[in-house]
Protein backbone atom coordinates (compact mmCIF):
# COMPACT_ATOMS: atom_id res chain seq x y z
CA UNK A 1 0.00 0.00 0.00
CA UNK A 2 1.03 3.62 -0.34
CA UNK A 3 2.87 5.28 2.54
CA UNK A 4 0.82 8.22 3.76
CA UNK A 5 2.06 10.79 6.25
CA UNK A 6 2.28 14.47 6.98
CA UNK A 7 0.41 17.19 8.81
CA UNK A 8 -2.62 19.14 7.70
CA UNK A 9 -1.93 22.48 6.13
CA UNK A 10 -4.21 25.32 5.23
CA UNK A 11 -5.60 24.98 1.78
CA UNK A 12 -8.72 23.39 0.41
CA UNK A 13 -11.78 22.70 2.49
CA UNK A 14 -10.87 19.05 2.98
CA UNK A 15 -7.48 19.92 4.48
CA UNK A 16 -5.34 19.16 1.42
CA UNK A 17 -2.99 22.03 0.66
CA UNK A 18 -2.24 23.25 -2.84
CA UNK A 19 1.38 22.15 -2.45
CA UNK A 20 0.26 18.68 -1.32
CA UNK A 21 -1.99 18.42 -4.32
CA UNK A 22 0.94 18.98 -6.60
CA UNK A 23 2.55 15.97 -4.93
CA UNK A 24 -0.60 13.89 -5.36
CA UNK A 25 -0.71 14.63 -9.05
CA UNK A 26 2.97 14.10 -9.71
CA UNK A 27 5.33 11.16 -9.85
CA UNK A 28 8.61 12.91 -10.55
CA UNK A 29 8.96 11.40 -14.01
CA UNK A 30 12.54 12.09 -15.06
CA UNK A 31 14.33 15.27 -14.19
CA UNK A 32 11.15 17.32 -13.80
CA UNK A 33 8.18 16.73 -11.52
CA UNK A 34 5.41 16.32 -14.03
CA UNK A 35 1.66 16.14 -13.57
CA UNK A 36 0.47 12.66 -14.49
CA UNK A 37 -2.53 14.14 -16.23
CA UNK A 38 -0.10 15.39 -18.87
CA UNK A 39 1.28 11.89 -19.26
CA UNK A 40 -2.12 10.43 -19.96
CA UNK A 41 -3.19 13.29 -22.21
CA UNK A 42 -0.09 12.66 -24.34
CA UNK A 43 -0.79 8.94 -24.40
CA UNK A 44 -4.35 9.51 -25.57
CA UNK A 45 -3.05 11.47 -28.53
CA UNK A 46 -1.25 8.43 -29.89
CA UNK A 47 -3.11 5.41 -28.50
CA UNK A 48 -1.73 2.41 -26.66
CA UNK A 49 -0.11 -0.73 -27.93
CA UNK A 50 -1.58 -4.21 -27.78
CA UNK A 51 -0.06 -7.21 -26.06
CA UNK A 52 2.70 -7.12 -23.48
CA UNK A 53 6.33 -7.55 -24.46
CA UNK A 54 9.10 -6.10 -22.33
CA UNK A 55 12.84 -5.40 -22.27
CA UNK A 56 15.16 -5.47 -19.27
CA UNK A 57 18.19 -3.37 -20.19
CA UNK A 58 21.28 -3.94 -18.02
CA UNK A 59 23.98 -1.34 -18.59
CA UNK A 60 27.49 -2.46 -17.62
CA UNK A 61 28.79 1.04 -17.02
CA UNK A 62 32.46 1.72 -17.67
CA UNK A 63 33.08 -0.62 -20.59
CA UNK A 64 33.35 -4.38 -19.94
CA UNK A 65 36.32 -6.21 -21.52
CA UNK A 66 35.00 -8.23 -24.46
CA UNK A 67 38.06 -10.52 -24.58
CA UNK A 68 37.64 -11.53 -20.91
CA UNK A 69 33.94 -12.38 -21.19
CA UNK A 70 32.43 -13.77 -24.38
CA UNK A 71 35.35 -13.59 -26.85
CA UNK A 72 38.32 -15.30 -25.13
CA UNK A 73 41.48 -15.14 -27.25
CA UNK A 74 43.16 -18.48 -26.71
CA UNK A 75 45.64 -17.97 -29.55
CA UNK A 76 46.78 -14.49 -28.52
CA UNK A 77 50.01 -13.79 -26.61
CA UNK A 78 49.71 -13.77 -22.81
CA UNK A 79 49.98 -9.97 -22.62
CA UNK A 80 46.82 -9.77 -24.70
CA UNK A 81 44.99 -12.93 -23.73
CA UNK A 82 45.12 -12.26 -20.00
CA UNK A 83 44.44 -14.58 -17.08
CA UNK A 84 41.16 -16.21 -18.02
CA UNK A 85 40.67 -19.54 -19.72
CA UNK A 86 37.68 -20.41 -21.85
CA UNK A 87 35.10 -22.88 -20.57
CA UNK A 88 32.69 -25.00 -22.57
CA UNK A 89 29.01 -24.14 -22.64
CA UNK A 90 25.86 -26.16 -23.14
CA UNK A 91 26.15 -25.31 -26.84
CA UNK A 92 28.70 -27.25 -28.84
CA UNK A 93 31.68 -25.23 -30.09
CA UNK A 94 30.80 -22.16 -28.04
CA UNK A 95 33.14 -21.21 -25.21
CA UNK A 96 33.09 -18.20 -22.90
CA UNK A 97 35.19 -16.83 -20.02
CA UNK A 98 35.71 -18.95 -16.93
CA UNK A 99 34.04 -16.44 -14.59
CA UNK A 100 30.61 -17.26 -16.05
CA UNK A 101 29.98 -20.94 -15.27
CA UNK A 102 26.21 -20.55 -14.72
CA UNK A 103 25.72 -18.74 -18.01
CA UNK A 104 27.84 -21.42 -19.68
CA UNK A 105 25.65 -24.16 -18.22
CA UNK A 106 22.52 -22.42 -19.50
CA UNK A 107 23.95 -20.97 -22.69
CA UNK A 108 21.15 -22.44 -24.81
CA UNK A 109 19.04 -19.61 -23.30
CA UNK A 110 21.61 -16.93 -24.19
CA UNK A 111 23.16 -15.37 -27.26
CA UNK A 112 26.46 -13.48 -27.23
CA UNK A 113 27.36 -10.88 -29.84
CA UNK A 114 31.14 -10.61 -30.06
CA UNK A 115 31.59 -8.18 -32.92
CA UNK A 116 29.72 -4.94 -32.23
CA UNK A 117 31.06 -1.80 -33.88
CA UNK A 118 30.01 1.85 -34.01
CA UNK A 119 30.69 2.57 -30.33
CA UNK A 120 32.23 5.84 -29.19
CA UNK A 121 35.07 6.21 -26.70
CA UNK A 122 33.32 8.26 -24.02
CA UNK A 123 31.92 7.07 -20.71
CA UNK A 124 28.21 7.50 -21.26
CA UNK A 125 25.20 5.21 -21.49
CA UNK A 126 23.75 7.40 -24.23
CA UNK A 127 24.57 5.09 -27.13
CA UNK A 128 23.40 1.99 -25.29
CA UNK A 129 20.21 3.85 -24.40
CA UNK A 130 19.51 5.29 -27.86
CA UNK A 131 21.73 3.76 -30.55
CA UNK A 132 22.83 7.24 -31.61
CA UNK A 133 25.71 9.60 -30.94
CA UNK A 134 24.88 12.32 -28.38
CA UNK A 135 25.14 15.00 -31.05
CA UNK A 136 22.28 13.57 -33.12
CA UNK A 137 19.33 16.00 -33.21
CA UNK A 138 20.86 17.81 -30.24
CA UNK A 139 19.42 21.13 -31.40
CA UNK A 140 15.93 19.64 -31.03
CA UNK A 141 16.54 18.21 -27.59
CA UNK A 142 18.44 15.07 -28.56
CA UNK A 143 17.37 11.56 -29.50
CA UNK A 144 14.95 9.91 -27.10
CA UNK A 145 16.18 6.78 -25.38
CA UNK A 146 14.77 3.35 -26.16
CA UNK A 147 12.38 3.30 -23.20
CA UNK A 148 11.01 6.76 -23.99
CA UNK A 149 10.44 5.83 -27.62
CA UNK A 150 8.62 2.66 -26.58
CA UNK A 151 6.49 4.66 -24.14
CA UNK A 152 5.56 7.07 -26.93
CA UNK A 153 4.72 4.34 -29.43
CA UNK A 154 3.06 1.75 -27.20
CA UNK A 155 1.86 3.51 -24.08
CA UNK A 156 0.77 1.75 -20.92
CA UNK A 157 -0.06 -1.91 -20.42
CA UNK A 158 -1.79 -1.01 -17.15
CA UNK A 159 -2.70 2.57 -16.43
CA UNK A 160 -1.58 2.11 -12.82
CA UNK A 161 1.94 1.11 -13.93
CA UNK A 162 4.47 3.37 -15.73
CA UNK A 163 5.54 1.89 -19.08
CA UNK A 164 9.20 2.86 -18.52
CA UNK A 165 11.06 2.45 -15.22
CA UNK A 166 14.74 3.32 -14.78
CA UNK A 167 16.84 2.67 -11.69
CA UNK A 168 18.98 5.77 -11.17
CA UNK A 169 21.87 4.14 -9.35
CA UNK A 170 24.71 6.06 -7.77
CA UNK A 171 27.71 6.85 -9.94
CA UNK A 172 28.68 9.00 -12.88
CA UNK A 173 27.24 6.61 -15.49
CA UNK A 174 23.87 6.27 -13.83
CA UNK A 175 21.59 7.81 -16.46
CA UNK A 176 18.66 5.40 -16.95
CA UNK A 177 17.69 7.10 -20.19
CA UNK A 178 16.66 10.56 -21.28
CA UNK A 179 13.48 11.40 -23.23
CA UNK A 180 15.27 13.76 -25.61
CA UNK A 181 12.97 15.75 -27.86
CA UNK A 182 9.94 13.83 -26.58
CA UNK A 183 10.09 15.79 -23.33
CA UNK A 184 9.67 14.88 -19.68
CA UNK A 185 6.29 13.23 -20.24
CA UNK A 186 8.15 10.20 -21.60
CA UNK A 187 11.05 10.14 -19.14
CA UNK A 188 11.45 7.04 -16.97
CA UNK A 189 9.86 6.71 -13.58
CA UNK A 190 12.79 6.44 -11.16
CA UNK A 191 11.99 4.30 -8.12
CA UNK A 192 15.42 5.05 -6.63
CA UNK A 193 14.91 8.79 -7.05
CA UNK A 194 12.29 11.42 -6.16
CA UNK A 195 9.57 9.35 -7.81
CA UNK A 196 9.14 7.14 -4.75
CA UNK A 197 9.08 10.18 -2.46
CA UNK A 198 6.18 11.52 -4.47
CA UNK A 199 4.30 8.25 -4.01
CA UNK A 200 3.86 9.37 -0.38
CA UNK A 201 0.83 11.61 -0.15
CA UNK A 202 1.67 14.37 2.33
CA UNK A 203 -1.22 15.53 4.47
CA UNK A 204 -3.73 12.93 3.25
CA UNK A 205 -5.13 10.51 5.81
CA UNK A 206 -6.20 6.96 5.13
CA UNK A 207 -9.84 7.90 5.72
CA UNK A 208 -9.55 10.73 3.23
CA UNK A 209 -7.87 8.47 0.68
CA UNK A 210 -10.71 5.99 1.00
CA UNK A 211 -13.15 8.73 0.14
CA UNK A 212 -12.32 8.82 -3.56
CA UNK A 213 -15.23 11.05 -4.37
CA UNK A 214 -14.05 13.74 -1.97
CA UNK A 215 -10.46 13.54 -3.17
CA UNK A 216 -11.52 13.67 -6.80
CA UNK A 217 -13.75 16.64 -6.12
CA UNK A 218 -10.83 18.41 -4.46
CA UNK A 219 -8.62 17.64 -7.44
CA UNK A 220 -11.19 19.16 -9.77
CA UNK A 221 -11.40 22.21 -7.55
CA UNK A 222 -7.63 22.58 -7.64
CA UNK A 223 -7.62 22.35 -11.43
CA UNK A 224 -10.32 25.01 -11.63
CA UNK A 225 -8.29 27.33 -9.44
CA UNK A 226 -5.05 26.96 -11.39
CA UNK A 227 -6.58 26.73 -14.85
CA UNK A 228 -7.10 30.29 -15.98
CA UNK A 229 -9.14 29.10 -18.95
CA UNK A 230 -11.45 26.93 -16.89
CA UNK A 231 -10.69 23.72 -18.78
CA UNK A 232 -10.40 21.37 -15.80
CA UNK A 233 -13.64 19.62 -16.63
CA UNK A 234 -12.29 18.42 -19.99
CA UNK A 235 -9.33 16.76 -18.24
CA UNK A 236 -11.39 14.44 -16.04
CA UNK A 237 -10.28 11.23 -17.78
CA UNK A 238 -6.62 12.19 -17.44
CA UNK A 239 -6.80 13.21 -13.79
CA UNK A 240 -8.66 9.98 -13.08
CA UNK A 241 -5.80 7.97 -14.61
CA UNK A 242 -3.25 9.93 -12.60
CA UNK A 243 -5.27 9.12 -9.51
CA UNK A 244 -5.34 5.44 -10.46
CA UNK A 245 -1.54 5.29 -10.33
CA UNK A 246 -1.37 6.99 -6.97
CA UNK A 247 -4.10 4.92 -5.31
CA UNK A 248 -2.93 1.59 -6.70
CA UNK A 249 -0.49 -0.53 -4.74
CA UNK A 250 0.72 -2.35 -7.87
CA UNK A 251 3.90 -0.36 -8.44
CA UNK A 252 4.94 -0.30 -4.79
CA UNK A 253 4.27 -4.03 -4.45
CA UNK A 254 6.25 -4.81 -7.61
CA UNK A 255 9.27 -3.11 -6.07
CA UNK A 256 8.92 -5.01 -2.79
CA UNK A 257 11.10 -8.10 -3.22
CA UNK A 258 10.36 -9.19 0.35
CA UNK A 259 7.15 -10.67 -1.02
CA UNK A 260 9.19 -13.24 -2.96
CA UNK A 261 9.90 -16.79 -1.90
CA UNK A 262 13.16 -16.66 0.10
CA UNK A 263 14.53 -19.41 -2.16
CA UNK A 264 14.03 -17.17 -5.20
CA UNK A 265 15.75 -14.25 -3.46
CA UNK A 266 18.66 -16.51 -2.54
CA UNK A 267 19.01 -17.70 -6.13
CA UNK A 268 19.48 -14.12 -7.34
CA UNK A 269 21.93 -13.22 -4.58
CA UNK A 270 22.52 -9.69 -3.37
CA UNK A 271 25.74 -8.88 -5.24
CA UNK A 272 27.51 -7.99 -2.01
CA UNK A 273 30.06 -7.05 -0.95
CA UNK A 274 30.04 -4.14 -3.38
CA UNK A 275 33.61 -3.80 -4.67
CA UNK A 276 35.30 -1.72 -7.36
CA UNK A 277 32.54 0.88 -7.06
CA UNK A 278 34.42 4.18 -6.92
CA UNK A 279 32.20 6.34 -9.14
CA UNK A 280 30.20 3.43 -10.55
CA UNK A 281 27.01 1.61 -9.59
CA UNK A 282 26.71 -1.18 -7.07
CA UNK A 283 26.37 -4.78 -8.24
CA UNK A 284 22.82 -4.84 -6.87
CA UNK A 285 21.41 -8.23 -7.85
CA UNK A 286 18.12 -7.48 -6.14
CA UNK A 287 17.40 -5.04 -8.96
CA UNK A 288 17.32 -7.98 -11.39
CA UNK A 289 14.54 -9.43 -9.27
CA UNK A 290 12.78 -6.07 -9.09
CA UNK A 291 13.02 -5.83 -12.88
CA UNK A 292 11.30 -9.20 -13.26
CA UNK A 293 8.55 -8.13 -10.89
CA UNK A 294 8.11 -4.84 -12.76
CA UNK A 295 7.74 -6.38 -16.21
CA UNK A 296 5.37 -8.94 -14.74
CA UNK A 297 3.30 -6.06 -13.36
CA UNK A 298 3.13 -4.34 -16.75
CA UNK A 299 6.27 -2.25 -17.29
CA UNK A 300 7.47 -2.37 -20.91
CA UNK A 301 11.08 -1.25 -20.39
CA UNK A 302 13.25 -1.45 -17.28
CA UNK A 303 16.80 -0.05 -17.26
CA UNK A 304 19.45 -0.45 -14.60
CA UNK A 305 23.21 0.09 -14.27
CA UNK A 306 25.26 -2.79 -12.91
CA UNK A 307 28.78 -2.40 -11.58
CA UNK A 308 31.73 -0.25 -12.53
CA UNK A 309 33.69 -1.92 -15.36
CA UNK A 310 36.27 0.80 -16.01
CA UNK A 311 39.24 -1.54 -15.52
CA UNK A 312 42.32 0.64 -16.11
CA UNK A 313 43.88 -1.27 -13.23
CA UNK A 314 43.32 -4.74 -11.76
CA UNK A 315 41.14 -5.72 -14.71
CA UNK A 316 41.13 -9.38 -13.78
CA UNK A 317 40.22 -8.82 -10.15
CA UNK A 318 37.33 -6.65 -11.26
CA UNK A 319 36.05 -9.19 -13.78
CA UNK A 320 36.30 -12.00 -11.24
CA UNK A 321 34.21 -9.96 -8.79
CA UNK A 322 31.67 -8.40 -11.15
CA UNK A 323 31.60 -11.39 -13.49
CA UNK A 324 30.69 -13.93 -10.83
CA UNK A 325 27.92 -11.69 -9.48
CA UNK A 326 26.54 -10.95 -12.94
CA UNK A 327 26.73 -14.66 -13.70
CA UNK A 328 24.51 -15.45 -10.73
CA UNK A 329 22.06 -12.58 -11.14
CA UNK A 330 21.39 -12.73 -14.86
CA UNK A 331 21.15 -16.53 -14.89
CA UNK A 332 18.64 -16.39 -12.04
CA UNK A 333 16.68 -13.76 -13.96
CA UNK A 334 16.52 -15.83 -17.13
CA UNK A 335 15.61 -19.01 -15.23
CA UNK A 336 12.96 -17.13 -13.28
CA UNK A 337 11.41 -15.72 -16.45
CA UNK A 338 11.38 -19.15 -18.04
CA UNK A 339 9.76 -20.82 -15.03
CA UNK A 340 7.03 -18.18 -15.05
CA UNK A 341 6.39 -18.56 -18.77
CA UNK A 342 7.66 -15.05 -19.49
CA UNK A 343 10.96 -15.67 -21.27
CA UNK A 344 9.60 -15.42 -24.81
CA UNK A 345 7.91 -12.13 -23.90
CA UNK A 346 10.84 -10.48 -22.10
CA UNK A 347 14.15 -9.60 -23.72
CA UNK A 348 17.18 -9.31 -21.44
CA UNK A 349 20.32 -7.51 -22.61
CA UNK A 350 23.58 -6.76 -20.80
CA UNK A 351 26.25 -4.59 -22.42
CA UNK A 352 28.45 -1.54 -21.94
CA UNK A 353 29.51 1.53 -23.90
CA UNK A 354 32.67 0.01 -25.46
CA UNK A 355 35.26 -2.76 -25.10
CA UNK A 356 38.78 -2.71 -23.66
CA UNK A 357 42.25 -2.59 -25.16
CA UNK A 358 43.73 -5.88 -26.36
CA UNK A 359 47.08 -5.18 -24.69
CA UNK A 360 47.19 -5.28 -20.89
CA UNK A 361 48.72 -2.11 -19.42
CA UNK A 362 51.38 -1.80 -16.70
CA UNK A 363 48.69 -1.70 -14.00
CA UNK A 364 47.25 -5.08 -15.04
CA UNK A 365 44.35 -3.20 -16.58
CA UNK A 366 42.78 -2.59 -19.95
CA UNK A 367 41.98 0.85 -21.32
CA UNK A 368 39.17 2.19 -23.51
CA UNK A 369 38.69 0.46 -26.87
CA UNK A 370 35.63 1.57 -28.88
CA UNK A 371 36.75 -0.40 -31.95
CA UNK A 372 35.07 -3.53 -30.57
CA UNK A 373 32.20 -4.21 -28.21
CA UNK A 374 30.04 -7.13 -27.07
CA UNK A 375 26.59 -7.92 -25.68
CA UNK A 376 24.78 -10.78 -23.99
CA UNK A 377 21.09 -11.31 -24.74
CA UNK A 378 18.36 -13.73 -23.72
CA UNK A 379 14.62 -14.28 -24.15
CA UNK A 380 12.35 -12.22 -26.38
CA UNK A 381 11.60 -15.18 -28.64
CA UNK A 382 15.08 -14.86 -30.13
CA UNK A 383 17.19 -17.66 -31.58
CA UNK A 384 19.48 -18.20 -28.62
CA UNK A 385 22.20 -20.76 -28.01
CA UNK A 386 24.69 -19.07 -30.32
CA UNK A 387 27.64 -16.70 -30.41
CA UNK A 388 27.44 -14.19 -33.23
CA UNK A 389 30.61 -12.82 -34.82
CA UNK A 390 34.08 -12.49 -33.40
CA UNK A 391 37.02 -10.13 -33.33
CA UNK A 392 40.36 -10.90 -34.93
CA UNK A 393 43.05 -13.02 -33.24
CA UNK A 394 44.18 -10.18 -30.97
CA UNK A 395 40.68 -8.93 -30.16
CA UNK A 396 41.27 -5.64 -31.95
CA UNK A 397 38.42 -5.27 -34.45
CA UNK A 398 35.33 -7.20 -35.56
CA UNK A 399 36.28 -9.86 -38.07
CA UNK A 400 33.42 -12.30 -38.56
CA UNK A 401 29.96 -10.80 -38.93
CA UNK A 402 30.39 -7.20 -37.73
CA UNK A 403 27.21 -6.04 -35.97
CA UNK A 404 26.41 -2.34 -35.81
CA UNK A 405 25.22 -1.05 -32.44
CA UNK A 406 21.94 0.04 -34.04
CA UNK A 407 21.26 -3.53 -35.20
CA UNK A 408 21.08 -4.43 -31.52
CA UNK A 409 18.57 -1.67 -30.82
CA UNK A 410 16.56 -2.64 -33.86
CA UNK A 411 16.39 -6.17 -32.48
CA UNK A 412 15.05 -4.89 -29.15
CA UNK A 413 12.35 -2.90 -30.93
CA UNK A 414 11.52 -5.91 -33.09
CA UNK A 415 11.04 -8.07 -30.00
CA UNK A 416 8.45 -5.58 -28.76
CA UNK A 417 6.58 -5.74 -32.05
CA UNK A 418 7.89 -2.43 -33.40
CA UNK A 419 9.02 -2.43 -37.04
CA UNK A 420 11.97 -0.07 -37.29
CA UNK A 421 11.70 0.06 -41.07
CA UNK A 422 8.41 1.95 -40.79
CA UNK A 423 7.92 3.22 -37.22
CA UNK A 424 8.66 6.92 -36.73
CA UNK A 425 8.25 9.56 -34.05
CA UNK A 426 7.54 13.19 -34.81
CA UNK A 427 10.21 15.62 -33.67
CA UNK A 428 9.35 19.12 -32.39
CA UNK A 429 9.39 20.43 -35.97
CA UNK A 430 6.78 17.88 -36.99
CA UNK A 431 9.22 15.78 -39.00
CA UNK A 432 9.05 11.99 -38.66
CA UNK A 433 12.24 10.51 -37.25
CA UNK A 434 13.09 6.83 -37.63
CA UNK A 435 14.08 5.01 -34.46
CA UNK A 436 17.29 3.63 -35.96
CA UNK A 437 18.80 3.21 -39.42
CA UNK A 438 19.68 -0.50 -39.26
CA UNK A 439 17.69 -3.72 -39.44
CA UNK A 440 17.53 -6.26 -36.58
CA UNK A 441 20.33 -8.81 -36.12
CA UNK A 442 19.21 -11.40 -38.66
CA UNK A 443 20.71 -14.30 -36.73
CA UNK A 444 18.48 -13.55 -33.73
CA UNK A 445 15.05 -12.87 -35.22
**Domain boundaries along the sequence of the chain:** 18-33+195-250, 54-183+255-434
The string of pLDDT tens digits covering residues 289-334 is: 999 999 999 999 999 999 999 999 999 999 999 999 999 999 999 9
pLDDT at 328: 98
Q: Over the chain, what is the mean pLDDT?
A: 83
- Residue 198 vs residue 137, higher pLDDT: 137
Q: State residue 122's pLDDT score.
A: 87
Confidence (pLDDT) at 242: 54
Mean pLDDT for the stretch of residues 335-339: 96
pLDDT band at 221 (very low <50, low <70, confident <90, very high): low
Mean pLDDT confidence for 219-246: 50
Answer with the residue of higher pLDDT: 173 or 121. Answer: 121
d(C-alpha 122, C-alpha 173), whole Å? 11
Segment among 51-60, 125-134, 250-259 with least mean pLDDT: 250-259
CA distance 169 to 176: 8
Which residues are within 8 A (CB) of 177 and not within 5 positions of it... i.e. 6 or more apart?
125, 129, 130, 145, 146, 147, 148, 164, 166, 187, 188, 303
pLDDT score of 279: 82
Q: What is the pLDDT of residue 225?
A: 53
Percentage of the chain beyond pLDDT 90 is 67
pLDDT exceeds cutoff 90 at 283: yes
Q: For 43-73, write each residue's pLDDT tens digit.
A: 444 443 335 899 999 999 999 999 999 999 9
Q: What is the pLDDT of residue 252?
A: 83
Beta-ladder partners of 391 = 398
CATH class of 54-183+255-434: alpha beta
Give the C-alpha separation, 363 to 380, whole Å: 40
pLDDT of amino acid 113: 98
Beta bridge partners of 349: 57, 377
Whether residue 29 has pLDDT greater than 60: no
Q: What angle do CA 116, 118, 121 make, to 5 degrees?
A: 105
The rounded distance, in Å, linking the Cα atoms of 351 and 125 is: 10
Alpha carbons 98 and 267: distance in angstroms, whole number: 20
Amino acid sequence: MLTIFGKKQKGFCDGVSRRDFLQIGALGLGAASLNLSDVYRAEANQGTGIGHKSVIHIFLGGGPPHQDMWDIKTEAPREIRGEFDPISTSVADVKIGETFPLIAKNFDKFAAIRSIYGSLGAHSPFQCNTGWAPQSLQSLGGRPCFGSSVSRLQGHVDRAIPPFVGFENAGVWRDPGMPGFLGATFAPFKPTGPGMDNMKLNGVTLDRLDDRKTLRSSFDEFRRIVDAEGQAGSLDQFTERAFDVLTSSKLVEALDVSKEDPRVIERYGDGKPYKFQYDGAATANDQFLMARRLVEAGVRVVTLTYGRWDSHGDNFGLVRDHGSKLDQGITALVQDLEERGLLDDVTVIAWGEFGRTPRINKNAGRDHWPQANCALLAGGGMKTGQAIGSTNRLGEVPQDRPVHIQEVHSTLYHNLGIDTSSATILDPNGRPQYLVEHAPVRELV
